[in-house]
Amino acid sequence: MNIYDLPIETGGVRSYAIRRVNPFLGVLQIIETSGGRAISSNGVVWEIELRTERSNAWGSLNQGIKGAVFYRFGLWSADEGLVNRPLAPDLDSGDMKTQYDFLIECVQARIQYIPFKLIDNRELWLFDGQSQQPLALLASLSPETKPPSPEPRIWKSSLGANGVASQFRYPESKALEELIKQTASSNTCKYWVTREDDGSGIVELNDQHITLNTFPPFLITEQWSKEDDVSLVSDYIAWIAPSLLTLHSLSITERKRLERYLNIQAISVEHHWHLYPEVIDEKKLKAARVQCRLQKTIPRAS
């Protein structure tokens, strides 16, 4: 079951998903109420954030600042229950307990429906400086979200010197990022595009229509004239296959291709597989999960 089977939400509760972009690290599942939200990157462990009024007691930099903020309250999972963070004195109240109790109830009632529907259909694409075709995805937003300021100009393949636990750094990150930078040209062409239900898009600057097939399904173009560049991008797609399989719009052929690569970075599989909308070859997924468990027993070289 997934969000498409979920009854229409009532009582101010929303369940949805957004992508983690630039670099692409999978999808976030979000359950939102008037009193807070629960966020999960793997569908198992949920970050519980409570909505509260900003307090002057939170430091001198907050003096005089009003308005509601999200406070990171704790982590919840079905196996471990709630592991809460130390509360600020003014947050340790009956109202706050009511909020997180209700939020956890919402998670328990909806976890069977993951992955939720993606709603971040506003996309900032870096375009090829010569062909003026989508090159790589820089950002994605839900319709009501304000664009980041400043907007990203540089595409990233990895996060940090070694990557993150859910996705280690692509070994050829530097070469790939330089290739994308050079192809985008010194003028850095980038446009906000609103994606339609059929996968096509409308460029917000000039209302230009872009067909579904024009957008790279793996969020980076594979159209290159040099064989070395084709191999570089293809190897990157294989490297991040465990996270790419969380995308909802992939065809069966595209999923089969990614599933063949699950053994390349199997350590990443356990962070993402709960959020796969569909699995074509269960044996390949099972083999990758076994490989992942074995690799976790071996210390990673620094």
Main-chain dihedrals φ then ψ at residue 15, nearest 5 degrees: -125, 125
- Residue 73: CB atoms within 10 Å: 22
At 239, the amino acid letter reads W
- Residue 221: CB atoms within 10 Å: 20
pTM above 0.85, yes or no: yes
- Alpha-carbon distance of 100 to 296, in angstroms, equals 33
Q: Is the peptide bond before 150 cis (omega within 30 degrees of 0)?
A: yes
Closest C-alpha to 49, from 79, 27, 74, 30: 74
Please give the chain's pLDDT, 302 residues, in tens. 554 555 445 568 999 999 999 999 999 999 999 889 999 999 999 999 998 776 555 444 444 545 568 888 889 999 999 887 766 555 556 777 888 889 999 999 999 999 999 999 999 999 998 888 999 999 999 988 888 888 999 999 999 888 898 899 999 999 999 999 999 986 778 999 999 999 999 999 999 999 999 999 999 999 999 999 999 999 999 999 999 999 999 999 999 999 999 999 999 999 999 999 999 999 999 999 999 999 888 766 55
At 280, the amino acid letter reads I
At 42, the amino acid letter reads N
**Are 73 and 36 a contacting pair, CB within 8 Å?**
yes
pLDDT of 5 reads: 56
3-state secondary structure of 197: coil
- Alpha-carbon distance of 15 to 142, in angstroms, equals 13
Task: Locate the domains of the chain by residue range.
Answer: 3-113, 122-296
